[in-house]
Amino acid sequence: MFDVATLAPSILSADFNRLEAHVREAIACDIDWLHLDVMDGHFVPNITIGPLVVRALRKVKEETGVTLDCHLMIEEPERYVEDFVEAGADSVTVHVEAATHLHRVVQQIHSAGARAGVALNPATSLDSIEEILPYVDLVLVMTVNPGFGGQKYIPTSTDKIRRLRQTIDRRGLKVDLQIDGGVNEHTIREAVDAGANVIVSGNSVFGGSRSVADNITALRSALLKIA
């Protein structure tokens, strides 16, 4: 569907010993978004970063204009929304499975001054966001089970992406459709053709033996291929 999509490299796969330098390599390749995966060890079986890491990247954001896109894979996300926005988050996404009062949390994110997103785990139905869809700026479809990087793309995600894109377009909504999980040179075009327009990728940007620039070039080349 889309000839051009926004790449949002996930810093989960970056080298934290040289985090600033590593993300600057990506930004130098005309990357406009950085994706920050926040895990609490409860909602998902891993612990990653908090507002301090967001704040550490704020200087990079202010110098380059890159968007800091925070994905909160945490219980009770409403407790931390303001902390992440104050630290520098431009976009905050919470899980429908973790927010008991989802509409209230979306309002909270907007009130704090950030774009609001809602995320869905692979087994969560699109029906769960039918009522909230007009109020969000972004929907994140997880194409792996959240909690760890380096997993394989779940094939049935493609149909889910396609159905969500059809719903967004039918309702005339200006909502980004983001995907996260298992995105590489072999899966990126399939997901974009289905309707995703913001693509999160970690290992395929920051991992492997190639440079960050070469990895990004490979992903963009795969996007340009005719499906």
For residue range 43-68, list pLDDT tens digits in order: 998 899 999 999 999 999 999 999 99
Burial group, residue 132, by CB count within 10 angstroms (0-12, 13-18, 19+): middle
Q: Is 224 a residue whose pLDDT tops 90?
A: no
Specify the pLDDT at position 26. Answer: 97
The residue-averaged pLDDT of 88-108 equals: 97
Angle value at C-alpha 31, between 25 and 35, nearest 5 degrees: 90
Return the structure tokens found at 30.
């005309």
Kindly list the catalytic residues: 37, 180
Name the pLDDT band for 164 (thresholds 50, 70, 90): very high
Long-range contacts of 149-152 (CB under 8 A, 24+ apart): 149/10, 149/12, 149/13, 149/37, 149/202, 149/203, 150/13, 150/202, 150/203, 150/207, 151/181, 151/182, 152/182
The residue-averaged pLDDT of 56-84 equals: 97
Tell me which residue of 174, 181, 130, 175 sits closest to 152, measured CA to CA. 181
Distance (Å, whole) CA 105 – CA 193: 31
For residue range 171-209, list pLDDT tens digits in order: 999 999 999 999 999 999 999 999 999 999 999 999 888
Specify the pLDDT at position 146. Answer: 82
For residue range 133-147, list pLDDT tens digits in order: 999 999 999 999 987
For residue range 23-42, list pLDDT tens digits in order: 999 999 999 999 999 999 99
For residue range 103-112, list pLDDT tens digits in order: 999 999 999 9
**Under CATH, domain 6-224 is a member of which superfamily?**
Aldolase class I (3.20.20.70)
Specify the pLDDT at position 147. Answer: 74
Residue type, 29: C
CA pseudo-torsion sign 41, 47, 52, 54: negative
Q: Is 1 a residue whose pLDDT tops 70?
A: no
Top-confidence residue, 3 or 121: 121
Work out the percent of the chain whose per-residue pLDDT is above 70.
Answer: 96
Specify the pLDDT at position 2. Answer: 45
Mean residue pLDDT across the chain = 94
